[in-house]
A and B are shown apart, each in its own frame.
Chain A
Amino acid sequence: MKLIKLMFKNAFRHKLRSFLTIAGIAIAVIAFDILRTVVNAWDAGIEATAANRLITRQAVSFIFPLPYSYRDRIKNIEGVEQVTFATWFGGVYKDKSNFFGRLAVEAETAFDIYSEYVVPPDQLEAFKRERNSCVVGSDLVKLYGFKLGDIVRLEGDIYPGTWDFVVKGIYTPNIKNGDATQMFFHWEYVDERMKKESPFRAGEVGWYIVRIAEPNRSGDISAKIDDLFKNSSAETKTESERAFAQGFMSSVSSILTAMNVLSWVIIGIIMLVLANTMIMASRERTKEYAVMKVLGFAGKHLSWLIIGESMVIAFTGGVVGILLSFPIVQGIGEAIPKNIFPVFNLEYHILVYAFVAALLVGLISSVFPIIKALRTPIVEGFRHIG
């Protein structure tokens, strides 16, 4: 028999108590994993941004449009490689609950700048050729069963009327956290109809996407773009794509912060639970520790014994929690519509955090029982009634 066997035997001496503590740790790890995955899912859009892309929007608010005429003026600024634009279309597909991003884009340039959205070349050519065509994300294909040649009918709200688009392409993101739940179609198609039905709204775009050659010059080029339109009727605000995405998320940032804090609070609570278990176990064994000291076991032996016992419980709880997190997070991911959280994956780093946190809980929980065991004189230990 080795000391490690005694650690395991001690850890499961009170089976119900150990089981409940392990279950508590496992639940805490699962809760931690879910919360962090939700936070991650919110952050996925930010993570998917590119350093060499700038977003130019209306200075007052994102919801106000910019003139189409800005396109060439931005393109002529030194350091700008390419410019494209997009407009939030809105609309309803069959039912309001079928929410996904619908964007009117410049067909010629959109997929050059968003090169991470991969469309097969023949499909991309077909999309560029036909004005009433669209490209849909691979997740939309899974959700709604779209296939090439299908007509997707949208009921417009921002752009009133019935709009039919023919699916000519399917894009797949080639980056982690890429959003495959969007639908892109020709801005020109929308604009032509606006010219006829609401001429005062023609020639407007939502925002510009600017690709720059040197990402470290983003501040300088942003300033140049904004200076260009200073004192105009539509002043601009240009920032990195990341800053733009973060600004977009600012409305939910306090919720995300709360979720972040909550995930660590859960770990803190379970630490107290395990610490309590270890203190109880250690107190019950005061006399046994005295016997072991008498038999020649030194402080380091008792310390390892207590740490080991605590770690066995924490490790088991951590492993059980992590193993259960996979199906649970996957289940939640499948239950939540893809268009709400396009990316809902249990990331490797979250598992590492959860596991390390579980082990730290085990380690910290053993500190007080160790101090108590070492400080109790043998003679006092024998007098203890546990």
Chain B
Amino acid sequence: METLIHVNAVSKMYKRDKFEIPVLNDLTLQVPEGKFLALMGPSGSGKTTLLNLIAGIDRPTKGSISVKGTEITSLSETALAKWRANSVGFVFQFYNLIPVLTAFENVELPLILTPLSKAERKQHVETALQIVGLGDRMDHYPKQLSGGQEQRVAIARAIVTDPILIVADEPTGDLDKHSAEEILTLLERLNKEFKKTIVMVTHDPHAAAKADEVLHLEKGELA
């Protein structure tokens, strides 16, 4: 399998007032295309930070990251935003849907930035919502959905642009066991059936077990 993500000697340090807090230390990692990778580790080990760096929503203090040949660490903010819109789908622990938009409109949101026509956008959104099994809830607002359904809408939003990479930060962390199982099954399906590369941060060993590979982080280094 071809390598999709190259993390080269990446370090990340946060500044809190006058203190510098190291989070990642000289970390190197390759993720092959089509892999379902789980990142585990205790709180503060740097797993979410690593996920953010891979997804281009934060920048490393040192080192470089490339995704499918694009060195994202050297992109401007505007170029990085465009890259994120085209290449990455995000799934958050708390879903982060826009409360005033329906399920359909939430999933459509990333497509507003594309040159797709209204009819094309509708087709993409309906397909994404069908994949996550919410074809009949398109007009529902987030508050009218259960947690599991909200997360499925978030996954539909993540895949609607057909990204090469899906990053998920504790996607089952706020769900009951049944809903969590549904989400994990859906992620597995996206990986196996739709060949999406997935990087998932989790505390849950059961969730991690669904992945092809589990990496442990400890104090900013791979254990």
Residues of A within 8 A of B (CB): 1-3, 5-6, 9-10, 13, 287-288, 291-299, 301, 377-379, 382
Contact = CB atoms under 8 A, between A and B. Distances in A.
Contact of A295 (B58, B78, B99, B110): B110
A296 B160 CA distance: 13
Give the size range of B's interface with the partner.
Answer: 20 to 34
Contacts of A288: 96, 98
A293 B109 CA distance: 11
Contacts of B52: 378-379
A10 B84 CA distance: 24
A295 B85 contact: yes
Contacts of B81: 293, 296-298
Interface stretch (B2-10, B64-72, B100-108, B172-180): B100-108
B113 A296 contact: yes
B96 A291 contact: yes
A294 B113 contact: no
Contacts of A13: 99-100
A207 B109 CA distance: 75
Nearest to A12: B100
Contacts of B78: 298-299
Contact of B58 (A5, A9, A377): A377
Dominant SS among interface residues on chain A: helix
A296 B90 contact: no
B112 interface: yes
A293 B101 contact: no
Contact of B98 (A291, A294, A377, A378): A291
Contact of A378 (B57, B85, B108): B57
Contacts of A291: 92, 96, 98
B138 to A, nearest CB: 12
Interface of B: 52, 55, 57-58, 77-78, 81-82, 84-86, 90, 92, 96, 98-101, 105, 108-110, 112-113, 157
Contact of A294 (B84, B108, B112): B84
Contacts of B110: 295-296
25 contacts: A1-B105, A1-B108, A2-B112, A6-B100, A6-B101, A9-B101, A10-B100, A13-B100, A294-B55, A294-B84, A295-B85, A295-B90, A295-B109, A296-B81, A296-B110, A297-B85, A297-B113, A298-B77, A298-B78, A299-B78, A377-B58, A378-B52, A379-B57, A379-B58, A382-B92
Nearest to A11: B100
A162 to B, nearest CB: 76
Contact of B57 (A2, A6, A293): A293
B112 A3 contact: yes
Dominant SS among interface residues on chain B: helix
Contacts of A377: 58
Given A1-B101, A2-B112, A296 B57 contact: no
Nearest to A285: B98
B112 A1 contact: yes
A291 to B, nearest CB: 5
Contacts of B98: 6, 288, 291
Q: Of residues A3, A10, A294, A297, which shows the largest number of chain B Cβ atoms within 10 Å of its Cβ?
A: A294
Contact of A9 (B82, B100, B157): B100
Given A13-B99, A295-B113, A378-B57, 13 more contacts: A291-B92, A291-B96, A294-B55, A294-B57, A294-B84, A295-B84, A295-B109, A295-B110, A296-B84, A296-B86, A298-B77, A298-B81, A299-B77
A381 to B, nearest CB: 9
Nearest to A293: B81
B101 A294 contact: no
A287 B57 contact: no
Contacts of A1: 101, 105, 108-109, 112
Nearest to A295: B110
Given A6-B101, A294-B84, A301 B57 contact: no
Q: Of residues B90, B92, B98, B108, which shows the largest number of chain A Cβ atoms within 10 Å of its Cβ?
A: B98
Interchain residue pairs A-B with the least CB separation, the first 4: A296-B85, A9-B100, A378-B57, A291-B96
A293 B82 CA distance: 10
B134 to A, nearest CB: 17
A6 B81 CA distance: 20
Nearest to B87: A296
A375 to B, nearest CB: 12
